[in-house]
A and B are shown apart, each in its own frame.
Chain A
Amino acid sequence: MLAERKLAELLAPTQPWERRRIVNGLATVVILACAVAAVLVLCLILGHVVVEGIGALNPDFFTQSPLPPGEVGGGVGPAVVGTLEMLAVASVFGVPLGVAAAIFLAEFQQGQSQLATLVSFTIDLIAGLPSIVIGVFVWAWLVRNVVGNYNGFAGGVSLAIIMIPIVARTVQETLLLVPDALREASLALGIPRWKTILHVVLPTASAGVITAVVLSMARAGGETAPLLLTALGNQFFNLDLFQPMAALPVQIYQYARSPYVDWHAKAWGAALVLIALIACLSAATRWAVGRRMRGFT
């Protein structure tokens, strides 16, 4: 009888070499190995950046301009300044446009109208564009026509285009989390729609907005390809937005592809600075968001 037989199996000690259990065990090992591999690679990459880059760091590195190969010293000062300046320009354009799109999608349309679908869809598409293509576009629009030469402003605009979808999506998600009861309470008090959004909804969502802005800045700050075609890069300090401007990732690229070993070392150093910059931005968000949260309780 089938059932009796199975019960008999149950009574006997389990056979460790049953094929199914072996396969199950193997599968577990393979899957574990995948996760280990991913984390290992992360550690290898970050580890190398730290180990190779730390030697190049000194106060001069942050403040001086690059020197010709072979000369001791010099640094990525212009690149750091350029990156920060272009990120500022990018934020001026990218944040309002991204937040506006998010407000439009979350507050006004709830994804109901055709325009809302279109906006949402195009934001996703822009997010998926290769950054080099964005660089080509901004070159054709701003570098070639409006300004006439490679310039930092165009670099900032290309970074803004990269920032917009990130800001829009993150802020949209945050706005959707704000409970409707809050909006209704405000509107019931007679406060007009736009004021409700500006003074009630957005402040409640402020943690998410800050996160969105910093997230997008961290991402845009690491972009190289569009800057190669717009800001071009600069070996000297330059604050003029309408001239070529240095940027950290571009500087890394120039150092790395050169044939000089001391410049390779500087490339690692600059990479460490870039990673540190991104890490600081993320850490600052958590701190700022944490403070706001504590302020509420």
Chain B
Amino acid sequence: MVTVLAAAAPVLLAGIVVLLVIDALPAIQRFGFTFFTDSTWNPVSEHFGAAAYIYGTVVTSILALVIATPIGVGCALFLVEYAPMRLRNPVSFLIELLAAIPSIIYGLWGLFILAPVMRGAVEPFFKATIGPLPGIGALFGGPVIGRDLFVAGVILSIMILPTVTAVSREILRAVPTTQREGMLALGATRWETVQKAVLPYARSGIAGAAILGLARALGETMAVTMVVGNSSTKITPSLLTPGYTMASAIANQFTEADKAIYFSAIVAVALVLLVVAIVMNVLARLLVWSVARGPSATAVRAG
């Protein structure tokens, strides 16, 4: 009997995939591959291309990753290498609390506290300093509105920080003490030990932690939908433009879909999210698992 109940898990997952595929099929058949490349999303003319949503998801998630990975690894290093014993558990607990805060409350805080700060101080600062530079300056082009991909990326980074920290912490703890001792015995400072013995050993595991964080960022809905703007489907290089992510588009438009093809297009977006989430999770687990097994004899070349 237990076996039957337990087998509900794979059945459930299969059901999710099947149901989504069935409902997305009309849209996929009608638009084919252009669904991914076309950024025009027009319910009136029944023309649906999800490129802008995909772009928004990718941009906000990568921004979140770029911010959260160094800080998350830094927190993990603090907890494993630097913190005195009596600080370890309290600080670790506090960082995990960040993970317990519901997404909607991040959205609320992001909307009413973070966004005004971003619009009033942070974004003008970036616009003034990096904006004028050639090439990279395009990241900060356009007017400062306060609900854009940049703010969404920042709020996402806070949300995935506990994931990156927790997994990185386990990875760092798995690095054998003898590795640290070996480097210390050569006359290395603590940072040099971290930099040359610990981090290289933990490299692939930390990559796994980052990807797990990325996987979490991809699927985030509520916090993002409240600060990302949800208004424009034009793809521009600027982080300061309002946009959509796949998840926010679904949340925003699902209940308004009146025509079958409109609805099918939204489910197609959900299907894309599903596939991406599964792929990311598998990849991340493979990387984390490989560190647990330890480096193989063919692992060479720190550079």
Contacts and interface: CB of A to CB of B under 8 A. Distances in A.
- The answer to whether A and B touch in the complex, with CB atoms under 8 Å apart, is yes
Interface of A: 20-21, 23-24, 27-28, 30-35, 37-39, 41-42, 44-46, 48-49, 52, 96-97, 100-101, 103-105, 107-108, 115, 118-119, 122-126, 128-137, 139-141, 161, 164, 168, 218-219, 221-225, 228-229, 232, 249, 252-253, 256-257, 264, 267-268, 271, 274-275, 278, 282
Interface of B is mostly: helix
Contact of B9 (A24, A45, A123, A275): A123
Contacts of A135: 254
A253 B222 contact: yes
Contact of B277 (A28, A45, A129, A218): A129
A24 B190 contact: yes
A34 B205 CA distance: 20
Contact of A232 (B12, B102, B255, B273): B255
Nearest to B5: A100
A262 B53 CA distance: 32
Contacts of A222: 101-105
Interface string B69-94: 01110110111011100000001001
B206 to A, nearest CB: 14
A21 B3 CA distance: 60
A26 B41 CA distance: 50
Contacts of A122: 9-10, 12-13
B105 A274 contact: yes
A132 B98 contact: no
B16 A133 contact: yes
Interface string B255-295: 10000000000110010011001101110010000000000
Nearest to B102: A222
Contacts of A44: 109, 113
B161 to A, nearest CB: 6
B270 A132 contact: yes
* Residue in A21, A104, A125, A275 whose Cβ sees the most chain B Cβ within 10 Å: A125
Interface in B95-119: 95, 97-98, 100-109, 111-113
Contact of B78 (A20, A32, A140, A271): A32
A264 B112 contact: yes
Given A23-B191, A122-B9, A132 B250 contact: yes
Given A125-B13, A132-B273, A256-B107, 13 more contacts: A34-B71, A35-B95, A41-B161, A42-B98, A45-B105, A52-B112, A130-B221, A135-B254, A140-B267, A168-B9, A253-B104, A253-B222, A267-B108
A38 B165 contact: yes
A128 to B, nearest CB: 4
B102 to A, nearest CB: 3
A20 B285 CA distance: 36
A133 B219 contact: yes
Contacts of B185: none
